[in-house]
Amino acid sequence: MLSSVVIFIIPFICLSVSNHLPSYLPRCYLDDPQRDECILRAFNKLRPNVANGIEEIGLPPLNPFVLPELILRQDTPNANFTIKVLNFTVAGLYKYDMKKFQYNPETKAFHFRIEYETIPITGDIEVSGHVASIPLSGKGFGRAVLGPVNATFDVKGNIKTSRGIDFYSTHNVKVDLDISDGSYYVEQLFNNNQTLVHLANEMLNANSVMVSEAVTPTLERLAEKGVKRFMKTLTRIPYYELFPLSR
């Protein structure tokens, strides 16, 4: 499928990592045969901390996760739109259920899968284009509740050594989202023409599975950007501090 997705995020969020990992972060040893299970358990146990963000590893607060300004452009046969979102707010990102975690120390590849029951997103929007043949234009407010969502992450990288210290260096992040359905709601678009707003909402929800599928590429690229940014901060921590050896 010919497709293009362009994303601008303003301003650049930048967190710094501290020298010490918080004590509540579990230690999963690189050479532990149960390493992946250890990390999977730890990840699901960390939900309350993740909600407030973990500054020491560069994780922003996820309850909610807010981007002040965002421009998304998708040009695919089933969705062709540009949307500017102010106060892009994603609630409940910390309500994840990690189902699978694999790290291959040989290839330095991460593979994990997370399930969400729902992901509510809101924002002040300025949109033009169409999604699943439903025209959308104008300025207003938008809300989407996506779910259930099945998210698969593949992260590739290698080890880089700087001043004698090993660091993980991320090369590629791929996110696959399986968004089963969603509910959609817009306000004030079409110069606040109530007839057209009402019609758009009806069409969005009558075709919610198609709409969810149509916007998936944009959400995948957005998630990849988020993970890349997080990895960039996380991997300022030396590799053997993230993955200590048992002895």
Please tell me whether residue 53 binds ligand NAG under the rule CB under 6 A. no
Q: Judged by CB under 6 A, does residue 63 bind ligand NAG? A: no
Choices 34-42, 43-51, 72-80, 228-236; region in contact with ligand NAG by CB under 6 A: 72-80
Q: Which of 114, 135, 119, 139 is nearest to 64 (CA)?
A: 119
Q: Which residues ranging from 99 to 118 are in contact with ligand NAG (CB under 6 A)?
A: 115
Burial of 173 (0-12, 13-18, 19+ CB in 10 A): buried
- Out of 44, 49, 63, 89, which residue is the one contacting ligand NAG (CB under 6 A)? 89
Q: Binding string to ligand NAG for residues 177 to 216, with x set by CB under 6 A, is what? A: -x--------------x-xx--------------------
Site for ligand NAG in 220-239 (CB under 6 A): none
Q: How far is the CB of 72 from ligand NAG (least distance, A)?
A: 14
**One of 44, 63, 87, 183 touching ligand NAG (CB under 6 A):** 87
| String of DSSP letters for 186-211 | EESHHHH-HHHHHHHHHHHHHTHHHH
Least distance in Å: CB of 41 to ligand NAG? 20
Q: Which CB sits closer to ligand NAG, 63 or 87?
A: 87
Cβ nearer to ligand NAG, comparing 28 with 79: 79
**SS3 at position 164:** coil
122 binds ligand NAG (CB under 6 A): yes
The pair of three-digit structure tokens given for residue 203, joined into one six-digit string: 């069409």
Give me 27's structure tokens.
Answer: 């230690």
Distance CA(145)–CA(185), nearest Å, equals 9
Q: Output the smallest distance, CB 144 to ligand NAG, in A.
A: 12
Report residue 217: phi and psi, to 5°. -55, -40
* Closest distance of CB 178 from ligand NAG, Å: 6
31: number of CA atoms within 13 Å, CB side?
A: 5
Q: Are 57 and 17 in contact, with CB atoms under 8 Å apart?
A: yes
Whose Cβ is closer to ligand NAG: residue 29's or residue 65's?
65
CB of 30 to ligand NAG, least distance (A): 26
Q: What are phi and psi of 137, to 5 degrees?
A: -155, 150
CA atoms lying within 13 Å on the CB side of residue 109: 7
Q: Which of 44, 49, 63, 80 binds ligand NAG (CB under 6 A)?
A: 80
> Of the candidates 11, 14, 20, 77, which one interacts with ligand NAG according to CB under 6 A?
77
Q: For the chain, list the strands marked E by DSSP.
A: 4-10, 65-76, 79-90, 97-104, 109-116, 119-131, 134-146, 149-162, 165-179, 182-187
Which residues are near ligand NAG by CB under 6 A? 75, 77, 80, 87, 89, 115, 122, 148, 150, 178, 193, 195-196
